[in-house]
């Protein structure tokens, strides 16, 4: 879905972008994946400047992927599957320690992939939460179960401080701009299985090629 900059933000459209990530033969389409992250970053920015250290990093990773797509070997970067094959076949990935390829598509997408697991866990908590649940607690629980194990102490500390600035559940739902709380819950119920599938397909691919620990 194309979103004009001045159009009112709606999280449904963003999550729909993730739905369109899987091709018929279950390949993950990088343009759609990146578009999904762009939308999420916009959403996060609308929650406040305290999240800008997070969105800066996400934006730089998005930009690296866009540069690969726009580069002379852009066709190799149409799907995550073709990217993995291309970069591995041509020795374009640092496998055990950082070296010549700090911006490989494989290591960059892995960071977004790990963040997608956070998103899945967070949205699932949001979907099943009670009216008086705290978004900051849901967010940090999801973070501690996923991304936190890849982050050094300082980033974990800063992240958990930022989570405390999240608005309460009612405001959070309003910012999502999807409709009533019931409609939000229904929308999340539709979107989550697809986000989860995109995550699983990527996870299996990375695991098969032993890429889950790329430095």
**By C-beta, is 139 or 187 nearer to ligand 1PZ?**
139
Closest to 104 measured CA to CA, from 204, 206, 207: 206
Q: Which of 111, 125, 127, 209 binds ligand 1PZ (CB under 6 A)?
A: 111
CB atoms inside a 10 Å sphere around CB 171: 12
> What is the nearest approach in angstroms of ligand 1PZ to the Cβ of residue 74?
22
Q: Check if the beta carbon of residue 159 is closer than 8 Å to that of residue 73.
A: no
191, containing H or E segment = helix 181-208
- Which DSSP state fits 205? H
Q: Which is nearer to ligand 1PZ, 26 or 129 (CB)?
A: 129
Other beta carbons within 10 Å of 9: 15
**DSSP state at residue 28:** B
Candidate segments 21-29, 85-93, 114-122, 202-210, binder of ligand 1PZ by CB under 6 A: 114-122
**Residue (of 154, 155, 114, 160) closest to 137 by Cα position:** 160
Give the nearest distance from C-beta 147 to ligand 1PZ in angstroms.
5
Q: Kindly determine how many residues on this chain lie close enough to bind ligand 1PZ according to the rule CB under 6 A.
A: 19
- Binding ligand 1PZ (rule: CB under 6 A), the pick from 27, 31, 57, 197 is 57
Q: What residues make contact with ligand 1PZ under the rule CB under 6 A?
A: 40, 43-44, 47, 51, 53-54, 57-58, 111, 114-115, 118, 139, 143, 147, 155, 159, 166
């Amino acid at each position: 879905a194309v979103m004009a900059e001045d159009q009112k933000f709606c999280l449904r459209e963003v999550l729909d972008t993730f739905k369109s990530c899987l091709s018929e033969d279950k390949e993950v389409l990088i343009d759609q994946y990146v578009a999904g992250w762009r939308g999420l970053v916009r959403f996060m920015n609308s929650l406040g400047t305290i999240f800008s250290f997070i969105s800066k990093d996400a934006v730089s990773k998005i930009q690296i992927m866009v540069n690969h797509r726009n580069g002379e070997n852009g066709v190799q970067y149409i799907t995550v599957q073709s990217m993995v094959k291309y970069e591995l076949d041509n020795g374009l990935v640092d496998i055990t320690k950082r070296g010549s390829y700090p911006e490989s598509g494989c290591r960059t997408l892995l960071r977004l992939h790990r963040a997608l697991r956070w998103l899945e866990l967070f949205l699932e908590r949001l979907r099943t939460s009670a009216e008086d649940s705290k978004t900051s607690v849901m967010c940090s629980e999801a973070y501690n179960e996923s991304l936190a194990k890849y982050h050094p102490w300082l980033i974990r500390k800063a992240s958990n401080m930022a989570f405390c600035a999240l608005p309460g559940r009612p405001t959070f739902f309003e910012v999502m701009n999807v409709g009533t709380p019931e409609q939000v819950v229904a929308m999340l119920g539709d979107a989550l299985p697809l986000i989860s599938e995109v995550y699983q397909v990527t996870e299996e691919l990375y695991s098969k090629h032993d890429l889950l620990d790329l430095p």
